[in-house]
Amino acid sequence: MRTKALENDLVRWRRMNELAAALYNKDATFGLWTQLAATYELSETASPHKEAAKAILLSAQRAFTHDPQLNEALVKALARIERKWW
């Protein structure tokens, strides 16, 4: 049972890593819709990984101040992750 829990935790961390990569869009690999979807999914992160997701969103918000649509989505995602509303 413990092994399955560790495997599930590893899967969640890998997914968060994928979402962070999609959000930061290095080398313009992904488009805006992928970034918005990653933002939304990070805002829905469960409690054990919530602080890591919040740190990713805060960092992305500082990095994407020039993109009003993505910045607005990041602000809403941060509000949702802190207060659980949307």
Cβ–Cβ < 8 Å for 35, 74: no
**What is the spatial distance between Cα 86 and Cα 76, in angstroms, rounded to a whole number?**
7
CA proximity to 75, closest of 45, 36, 47: 36
pLDDT digits (tens, 9 = 90+) for 5-32: 899 889 999 999 999 999 998 767 788 8
**Tokens describing residue 54:** 């919040």
pTM: 0.85
pLDDT band at 86 (very low <50, low <70, confident <90, very high): very low
pLDDT digits (tens, 9 = 90+) for 25-68: 876 778 889 999 999 999 998 888 899 999 999 999 999 999 89
Which pLDDT value is given to residue 30? 80
Which pLDDT value is given to residue 2? 82
Cα angle: 11, vertex 46, 3; to 5 degrees: 40
**What is the spatial distance between Cα 68 and Cα 12, in angstroms, rounded to a whole number?**
29
